[in-house]
């Protein structure tokens, strides 16, 4: 109830005098003088709310001083109450009224008994238990020595450290109390106005556990319940589940991962998954990891298994091992099968199994037929040795030359040879050229001597083309002879991929022709050809049947 005096209320002096005495329990002195001063202000200003100044409470009187802001360090304004200290108190300490002895003790948000009761802010320091103190119940206060730097306008809370306040509510331990005690007017000045509501952390109303020992508790229609299909063994640190673990529809999926290590030189948390062992003649349990089935037009879900990345500055990446089970005591070992999915419907292709950089640029893929194809840098160089079959006749016939363990044919200009035809392999990457190679040596020791070879070839498809089809002619260009006798030399020429097809039969004739540069000075220095080769790039293992 609020009592307001206004000019013209018709109260005579005797009534007012009796009201003052009743309000202050018959005590005058300074308090009475203050009321008289306020009454004088009433007469000057026309009205004044007296209940903002004096409130009668059990055991004494609360002085409601006018709130002002800002206040200086060590100052306050607002409503205070006199009391007795139950400990050493400093200006700005957060305190609570103890029910045991009605004394003001240091407040602490670590328990309800020291923070979820009547609290205040000490504004008159007490040197010892039993000393007189004054406590701010509501108002503005500044205590730079004990207050933290506060966020302007932000909420402040009772701290788990006795006597202190904080802009961060407690959150760590069960039983701690979250209680707002006011807001910051500035970084240094607090508007102290404790909230009567509070929250206790991790301490819900106790109830009887459901189910049996080790069974994990869950909400079953508002009642705690347990189930034998969901248990926790605290000794073995084992969570046992008999049933499905499902991610929510539309969520980010189900993630099971080991924890990241925080301390230096500490391994991250491991993750293992295996099925249980069978007993007697029964099989062991099976393990299966499947991506989800797509909707009417949606893709199926993927399954990824990745080793962990190495450290930022050093450390190997993690190993991924997929092993078939070993036979123990007789029996066959377990197989490991990687099989892509089959496409369904017109225009849809079968899936592939990719091993490499995840199917981006450089990898090996296996299709549903089992054929292996290598993509990007995942290629293999292979060689076909061409036999020197039919030697040219007459003056065009090279002569045999031998040195050490090596034998070959010495070629004069216009000498030629017909190589034994060969078939283009099925594993040839049809986007790459064939590389024709000539390996030879010479007894030449003179600088700036050259030889040159001409290659005539045609590629014939079986059953559809004739062997006398048009010939393609090219040459190696001038090949420089080494000035060291018997030095092995290689001459090469790329044969364009467009001129060939897999399974074609290739016929090749090689002929020495006049070089542009100076030929060997002596006929004895003419080149001795040891072998012909076709080098090609393979990107698969054969052809699917």
pLDDT of residue 1: 29
Answer with the residue of higher pLDDT: 249 or 352: 352
Give the CB-side neighbour count of residue 175, counting CA atoms within 13 A: 5
pLDDT of residue 22: 45
When the pLDDT of each residue in the chain is averaged and rounded to a whole number, the result is 82
Helices (H) and strands (E) in the chain, counts: 2, 35
Q: How far apart are CA 286 and CA 274, in angstroms?
A: 8
- Output the CA angle 434-436-442, nearest 5 degrees: 165
Best CA proximity match to 196, nearest among 136, 116, 141: 116
| CB 141, CB 156: distance < 8 Å | no
Is residue 523 over pLDDT 90? Answer: no
Answer with the residue of higher pLDDT: 304 or 483: 483
Is residue 58 over pLDDT 50? Answer: no
| Residue 477, token pair as written in the block | 């260009």
| Residue 170, token pair as written in the block | 């407690």
H/E run at residue 160: none
Phi, psi of 452 (to 5 degrees): -150, 140
- Output the CA angle 331-337-341, nearest 5 degrees: 150
Is residue 59 over pLDDT 50? Answer: no
Phi, psi of 42 (to 5 degrees): -60, -45
Q: Which of 235-249, 279-293, 424-438 has the lowest mean pLDDT?
A: 279-293
Is residue 210 over pLDDT 90? Answer: no
Phi-psi region of 45 (alpha: psi -120 to 50; beta: other; left: phi over 0): alpha
Is residue 235 over pLDDT 70? Answer: yes
pLDDT of residue 38: 53
The predicted model gives 17-26 an average pLDDT of 45
pLDDT of residue 464: 86
Is residue 300 over pLDDT 90? Answer: no
In sequence order, the 6+-apart residues with CB closer than 8 A to the CB of 193 are: 138, 181, 182, 183
The predicted model gives 457-463 an average pLDDT of 92
| CB 333, CB 327: distance < 8 Å | yes
Is residue 51 over pLDDT 70? Answer: no
Is residue 211 over pLDDT 50? Answer: yes
Q: Which of 173-177, 291-295, 465-469, 535-539 has the lowest mean pLDDT?
A: 291-295
pLDDT of residue 36: 55
Is residue 252 over pLDDT 70? Answer: no
Q: DSSP for 253-269, please give it.
A: -----PPPP-STT-PPP
The predicted model gives 348-361 an average pLDDT of 76
Q: Which of 66-80, 90-104, 277-291, 394-408 has the lowest mean pLDDT?
A: 277-291
pLDDT band at 45 (very low <50, low <70, confident <90, very high): very low
The predicted model gives 441-447 an average pLDDT of 95
Neighbours of 18 (CB within 10 A): 10
- Give residue-wise pLDDT tens across range 371-400: 777 777 777 899 999 988 777 655 567 889
Q: How far apart are CA 232 and CA 215, in angstroms?
A: 6
pLDDT of residue 6: 35
pLDDT of residue 351: 81
pLDDT of residue 73: 94
Phi, psi of 13 (to 5 degrees): -65, -35
Is residue 2 over pLDDT 50? Answer: no
pLDDT of residue 356: 77
- Give residue-wise pLDDT tens across range 135-174: 999 999 999 999 999 999 999 999 999 999 999 999 888 8
Q: How far apart are CA 468 and CA 507, in angstroms?
A: 10
pLDDT of residue 112: 93
Best CA proximity match to 353, nearest among 84, 342, 344, 390: 342
Measured distance between the N- and C-terminal CA atoms of the chain, rounded to whole angstroms = 100
pLDDT of residue 123: 96
The predicted model gives 204-219 an average pLDDT of 77
pLDDT of residue 142: 96
Q: How far apart are CA 326 and CA 330, in angstroms?
A: 10
Residues β-bridged to residue 507: 458
For CA atoms 108, 109, 111, 116, the dihedral sign is positive
Residues β-bridged to residue 135: 81, 122
pLDDT of residue 481: 96
SS (H, E, C) 284-311: CCCCCCCCCCCCCCCCCCCCCCCCCCCC
| CB 120, CB 182: distance < 8 Å | no
% of the chain with per-residue pLDDT over 90: 48
pLDDT band at 21 (very low <50, low <70, confident <90, very high): very low
Any idea which fold 381-538 has? Jelly Rolls (2.60.120)
Is residue 46 over pLDDT 50? Answer: no
pLDDT band at 314 (very low <50, low <70, confident <90, very high): confident
Q: How far apart are CA 105 and CA 111, in angstroms?
A: 13
Is residue 299 over pLDDT 80? Answer: no
| Residue 213, token pair as written in the block | 């020992």
Q: How far apart are CA 386 and CA 495, in angstroms?
A: 15
pLDDT of residue 151: 96
DSSP at 93:
-
The predicted model gives 80-102 an average pLDDT of 96
């Amino acid at each position: 109830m609020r009592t307001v005096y206004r000019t013209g209320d018709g109260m005579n002096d005797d009534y007012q005098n009796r009201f003052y005495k009743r309000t202050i329990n018959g005590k005058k002195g300074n308090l009475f003088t203050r009321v008289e001063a306020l009454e004088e202000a009433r007469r000057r200003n026309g009205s004044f709310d007296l209940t903002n100044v004096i409130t009668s409470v059990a055991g004494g009187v609360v002085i409601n001083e006018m709130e002002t802001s800002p206040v200086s360090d060590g100052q306050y304004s607002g409503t205070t109450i006199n009391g007795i200290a139950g400990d050493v108190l400093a200006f700005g300490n957060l305190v609570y009224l103890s029910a045991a002895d009605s004394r003001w003790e240091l407040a602490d948000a670590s328990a309800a008994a020291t923070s979820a009761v009547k609290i205040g802010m000490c504004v008159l320091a007490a040197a010892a238990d039993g000393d007189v103190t004054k406590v701010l119940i509501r108002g503005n206060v500044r205590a730079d020595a004990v207050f933290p730097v506060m966020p302007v306008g932000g909420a402040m809370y009772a701290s788990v450290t006795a006597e202190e306040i904080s802009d961060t509510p407690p959150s760590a331990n069960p039983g701690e109390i979250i209680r707002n005690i006011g807001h910051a007017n500035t970084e240094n000045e607090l508007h102290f106005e404790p909230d009567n509501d509070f929250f206790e952390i991790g301490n819900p109303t106790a109830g009887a556990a459901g189910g049996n020992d080790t069974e994990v508790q869950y909400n079953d229609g508002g009642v705690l319940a347990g189930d034998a299909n969901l248990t926790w063994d605290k000794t073995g640190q084992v969570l046992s589940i008999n049933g499905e673990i499902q991610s929510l529809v539309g969520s980010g999926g189900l993630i099971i991962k080991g924890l990241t290590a925080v301390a230096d030189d500490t391994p991250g948390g491991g993750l293992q998954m295996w099925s249980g062992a069978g007993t007697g003649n029964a099989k062991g349990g099976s393990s299966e990891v499947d991506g989800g089935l797509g909707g009417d037009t949606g893709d199926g879900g993927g399954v990824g298994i990745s080793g962990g990345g190495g450290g930022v500055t050093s450390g190997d990446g993690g190993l991924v091992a997929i092993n078939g089970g070993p036979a123990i005591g007789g029996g066959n070992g377990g197989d490991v099968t990687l099989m892509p999915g089959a496409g369904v419907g017109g225009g849809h292709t079968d899936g592939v199994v990719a091993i490499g950089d995840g199917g981006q640029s450089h990898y090996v893929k296996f299709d549903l037929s089992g054929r292996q194809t290598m993509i990007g840098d995942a290629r293999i160089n292979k060689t076909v040795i061409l036999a020197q079959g039919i030697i040219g006749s007459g003056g065009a016939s090279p002569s045999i030359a031998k040195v050490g363990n090596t034998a070959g044919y010495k070629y004069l200009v216009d000498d030629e040879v017909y190589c034994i035809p060969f078939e283009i392999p099925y594993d040839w990457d049809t986007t790459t050229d064939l590389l024709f190679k000539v390996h030879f040596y010479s007894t030449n020791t003179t600088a700036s001597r050259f030889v040159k070879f001409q290659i005539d070839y045609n590629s014939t498809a079986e059953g559809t083309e004739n062997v006398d089809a048009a010939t393609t002619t090219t040459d190696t260009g001038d090949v420089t002879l080494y000035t060291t006798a018997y030095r092995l030399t290689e001459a090469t020429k790329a044969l364009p991929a467009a001129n060939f097809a897999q399974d074609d039969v290739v016929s090749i004739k090689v002929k020495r022709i006049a070089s542009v540069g100076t030929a060997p000075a002596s006929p004895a220095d003419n080149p001795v050809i040891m072998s012909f080769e076709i080098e090609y790039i393979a990107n698969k293992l054969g052809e699917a049947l």
